[in-house]
Structure 1
Amino acid sequence: MPTDRTLERLANATLLVPFEDLSAPRWALDGLADGFAGVCLFANNIADREQLRTLTRQLESAAEAPLISLDEEGGDVTRIGHLTGSDYPGNAALGSVDDPALTRAVHRALGAELHGLGITLDLAPSVDVNTTADNPVIGTRSFGADPELVSRHAGAAVTGLQEGGVAACAKHFPGHGATYQDSHEETPVIDADVDLLRRRELSPFRAAVQAGVRSVLTAHIRLRPLGMAEPATLTPAIVTDLLRTELGFDGMIISDALEMRGVSGDIGIPEAAVRALLAGCDLLCLGRFVYHDEIVAVREAIVTAVRSGRLDGQRLEQAAQRTALVRSWTTQRRTTTEDPAIGLDGARRAVQVTGELPSLHSPLVVELDAPPGAAVGEVPWGLAPWFPETVRLSAERERSDKVLADASGRPLVVVVRDAHRYPATRGFVTELCRARPDTVVVELGLPAWRPECGVYVSTHGASRASCQSAAEILGAAGTVPIS
């Protein structure tokens, strides 16, 4: 039996930890020196690109090749662009264009930018098949609802990111696209049978594995037809049998954040960590708010599990070895030239317009607010940077007749985000379009609901690049200056 000190270092090698500030606290730096596999950065750790590069240099100095990771999907989910919105279109936009070469180029540029900032592991792409339009956690993060399309772009995205110089991570295994619940809050249940699961959910993961993805991230979902009593992250039949054996993946398996209620709400984070390792996970993403004392408790739980015989020491060594292999890969990664224009070019190609745009001289632009998802966070969206007099209001609290009065004698542009998910928004837009059939509706989310309006513009995402693309379309029809 290894010594407690050896076990502690092996346990540390399975931990991907967060911290609160713009610079790393002493406990995090000491932890990296003592074997933490790496860190996961969030918006609270990033003020701007210069500060981020200073931070990653600080982390690099603490240990040899730590994993420095974040969720940078492009599109709606961005950390480096959390103050302005992403410069890259998201997966739904790229899927709507359906040009795998574009998807590869966009992700290569994103990977090159992350590489230049000192990031070594990107927890992207999302390769979920979004078959449920009302899915509260995936939506525009998915390339689409067709497994073959998603598979094409999964492979392209993985290849592009890794050509850019960062390890990619296909998520959320075995597929979060058919859920109606958010695993940040509860454990979603999928009723797909095994055959459907293989044809639909698993297809993009096969493509990602074939493309050489360095890591796969598990989902906190339960597959009822498989008789699963626990989330996939904690289920050996999913993590080991399905991913390792059936799909042949031999890289690093990462748990989704263990602070999410869908996995640890009833058992606590330390117990979830032990069960995830037992299931076959190698790297434990602890989440956004799990700091020093809780990390110590997680490590102690892992050591205790090995000491008691509950967790095989060889399983812990195997997990530590897999994280070490990815860390080693990041030191050998090639660099590539970043293409700063590809993001906006791709977003422009994704914009779809139905109807003939009227002259839009001095329009009233009204945005109907939508709550941010847990994965997205508070990231700016909308057309205000290009239409400074844009009004944002709540469809539940405001009256449509007030908007109609304000728009008297002026073109009316209404901007929504995932209108299909919000009955009040749909009702508000319907009232406006009924009174003003010439209304231009701009959908910055999934175009799953289309009102009867004069013109319908869809961007398939609310990144800054996608919003600018919509603004250009509207500005080209009138005299609105585009900066």
Structure 2
Amino acid sequence: MNQVKDARLTRRLLLTATGSAAVAAGLAGCGSGTTARPRPSPQPPGSPQSPTSRAAGTAPLDEAALRRKIASLLVVGFRGEQLGADDWVMKAVRDGLGGVILFDRDLKTDAPRNITSPAQVTALVKSLRQASPGRLIVSIDQEGGRVARLNPSNGFPATRSEAEIGAENSPAATRTWAQGLVRSLTSVGITLNYAPVVDLDVNPNNPAIGKLARSFSANPDIVVANATEEIQVHRAAGVKTSLKHFPGLGSATGNTDFAVVDVSRTWHRNELEPYQKLIASGNVDSILVGHLLNSQLDPKLPASLSPAVVTDLLRGQLGWKGPVVSDDMQAVAISSKFGRDEAVALALEAGLDLLVFGNQQTYDPNIVNQTLDDVVNLVRTGRITEARIDESVARVDALRPKS
């Protein structure tokens, strides 16, 4: 980015900040909380309910249809190497759940969670997709290196880390590496990979990025070149990707899965360059927003819950029109301060589309029904409009498999 562009971007970021009112591994599940807002009686995603008038002069709310829309925006984690028809996640999938996220190990028990062998996970994914009335998103963190849910311990090939690939910085080597990642994904039916990491490796001691070798480089151009190769290989195989962790987690000194992380003093505007250049080149399927605090961009709210970051910066200034994905909505970084219910409300207000619940640190089989109840209540009370939900439904549709 040249100096003129730097200056313009700096002015825009300052305006955004002053004008705003307000992972040992990728998506590891964390604790959840609740707020004191009233909640209606739990209902499954497709349950019929009596139409509810939101205000005088407005059309009655079709809550059954609304619940199906909201359900399509949720991705959840679950326990089980195989599932029966009566398991809660199978019921949610039959009722229109948008997607699932698979993990190799359970964070609380350290027992195998969803993946023990290629044949087993293939059968698991097939059962989930057969249960879905729509095009189910089956997602995973398969970055390479230490963050790879499909790995030698469960029968899949070993993979090199992004740091190793970036150090070599060879287009041919990157394509070969990415093809190996994608072969494992497609062999079992994965349709969305939360990768590549495009954080800049500006702090080698960063426990969430640098120490885990999750970044291609501290050089934005190297990050963009290698991320582009990786994304194109995924696309050629029909697998969607998600850049993370916007607007940049590379300078952090903590992990948002387990603590509140503030990069206000360490973040630099060049951490936006990978996103800016990849968006401009058309090499983006979705963007995952991190739970980090950055007062340069928003003095009060973490990036994932901030309209200044998601709507004004990412969508407005950088021009991203596609789906925006949450990091784990149960992560300590937001659950400890806002609670699950308020965090969901703020995420939707900020402009997020696909809400991911890893269901790891606190395992909650009721997470789908509770979230549906909460968001229906947000629409019923007028805090969120149904039109806002419809916008996300349309954007998330681009992440769904073709069949």
Give the shorter-chain TM-score range: 0.7 to 0.9
Which amino acid in structure 1 is aligned with residue 313 of structure 2? Answer: L
How far the C-alpha of 1:266 sits from its partner, in A, is: 1.8
**Structure 1: where are the runs of 5+ without partners?**
333-483
Counterpart check, 1:93 vs 2:164 = yes
Mapped partners of 2:371, 2:275: distance in 1: 29
Q: Distance in 1 between matches of 2:335 and 2:197?
A: 22
**2:91 counterpart residue number:** 30
> Equivalents in 2 of 1:280, 1:46: separation in Å?
33
Instruction: Indicate conservation of the 8 Å contact 1:111/1:161, yes or no.
Output: yes
Number of residue pairs aligned between Structure 1 and Structure 2 = 327
Give, as a single letter, the amino acid of the residue that structure 1 aligns with 2:353.
D
- Within 1, Cα distance between the matches of 2:265 and 2:227? 21
Q: What does residue 120 of structure 2 align with?
A: 51
Alignment RMSD: 1.8
User: Structure 1 residue 65 and structure 2 residue 98: aligned?
Assistant: no
Deviations 1:364-388 (A, max 9, x none): xxxxxxxxxxxxxxxxxxxxxxxxx
TM-score (ref. length: structure 2): 0.77
* 2:150 aligned partner, one-letter code: I
User: How many angstroms does 1:20 deviate by?
Assistant: 0.6
Q: How does 1:109-188 map to 2 (within 5 A)?
A: 109-139=180-210, 140-188=213-261
Preserved CA contact (<8 Å) 2:297 2:309: no
In the TM superposition, 1:38-437 aligns within 5 A as 38-43=99-104, 44-63=113-132, 64-81=134-151, 83=153, 87-139=158-210, 140-191=213-264, 196-197=268-269, 200-209=270-279, 210-289=281-360, 290-327=363-400, 330-331=401-402
Q: CA deviation at 1:226?
A: 2.5
Question: Deviation of residue 82 (structure 1)?
Answer: 6.2
Post-superposition shift, 1:164? 2.8
CA distance in 2 between counterparts of 1:236 and 1:104 reads 36
Cα distance, 1:325 vs structure 2? 2.6
| Deviating 4+ runs (over 6 angstroms) | none
Aligned partners of 1:281 and 1:6: how far apart in 2? 20
The 3-state SS of whatever aligns with 2:284 is: coil
Deviation of 1:192 after TM superposition, in Å, equals 5.5
Q: How much has 1:74 moved relative to structure 2?
A: 1.1
Moved more, 38-47 or 153-162: 153-162
Cα offsets for 1:349-374 (capped at 9, x unmatched): xxxxxxxxxxxxxxxxxxxxxxxxxx
Residue 259 of structure 1 contacts residue 287 of structure 1 at CA under 8 Å; is this kept in 2? Answer: yes
Distance 1:202 1:306, change over 3 A: same
Larger Rg: 1
Query: Structure 1's 246 and 294: CA in aligned 2 closer, same or farther, altered over 3 A?
Result: same
TM-superposed deviation, 1:254: 0.7
Which residue type is aligned with residue 61 of structure 1? Q
Change in CA separation of 1:111 and 1:165 when aligned onto 2, cut-off 3 Å: farther
Helix, strand or coil at the partner of 1:266:
helix
Match of 2:48 in 1: none
* Residues 206 and 56 (structure 1), Cα distance of their counterparts in 2 relative to 1, 3 Å cut: same
Task: Please give the alpha-carbon distance, in whole angstroms, between the structure 1 residues aligned to 2:226 and 2:181.
Answer: 15
SS at match of 1:185: coil
Larger mean CA deviation between 314-323 and 284-293 belongs to 284-293
Deviation at 1:211, TM superposition (A): 4.1
Q: What is the aligned counterpart of 2:75 among 5, 16, 27? A: 16
Are the aligned partners of 2:200 and 2:219 in contact in 1 as well (CA < 8 Å)? yes
Match of 1:278, SS state, is helix
- Specify the code of the residue in structure 1 equivalent to 2:307: P
| TM-score of the two chains, using structure 1 as the length reference | 0.65
Query: CA 1:178–1:168 in 2, change beyond 3 Å: closer, same or farther?
Result: same
Distance 2:150 2:266 in 1: 39
